[in-house]
Amino acid sequence: MTDEELQKLTEEISIQFFNKKFRHKARFNKRLRTTGGRYLLRTHDIEMNPHLFAAFGIEELIGVIKHELVHYHLHIEGKGYKHGDYDFKYLLNKVGGSRYCQSVPEKRRTESYKYHYICTDCTQSFKRKRKIDTKRYVCGKCRGKLKPISSK
């Protein structure tokens, strides 16, 4: 889906469920990682996570668009647009928007851990990217001594 298609879909959803026009920009933002979308207060634009659409499809995307449009329309009208506000909860429930989106699967980084430590008392394993001072740090589980096992 392109930004133009997303813009058109957002405008259609706004008319269909809110009976109001969406007069700003809707676009994908590849940098979004932990959220399905966001409404920008200063510009009134909506940004959507393309990874969410790729992973879960159009239905999940529509639910998140409705959520962001609730923020948009309430903010424009000067009503309570925040998640905890009554106006927000009421309108979100009325239009059937999603309160939370599904977790977007993250791409695993190929970067592996360089250092591996083990507790001498409880055998808890610790993997670290950086070397730690075993004289200064202890096991977070039992406060036992740490012993380096391997380093790459």
Residues known to be catalytic? 68
To the nearest 10°, report the CA torsion of 42, 45, 50, 55.
100
Strand order from edge to edge, sheet including 37-39: 26-28, 46-48, 37-39
Q: What is the distance between the alpha carbons of residues 48 and 33, in angstroms, rounded to a whole number?
A: 10
Q: Measured between alpha carbons, how far is residue 28 from residues 52, 81, 141 in Å?
A: 10, 22, 42
Identify whether the C-beta of residue 69 lies closer than 8 Å to the C-beta of residue 91.
no
Residue 18 is given by DSSP the state: I
Q: What is the distance between the alpha carbons of residues 61 and 85, in angstroms, rounded to a whole number?
A: 23
Question: Parallel, antiparallel, or unpaired for β 46-48 and 26-28?
Answer: parallel
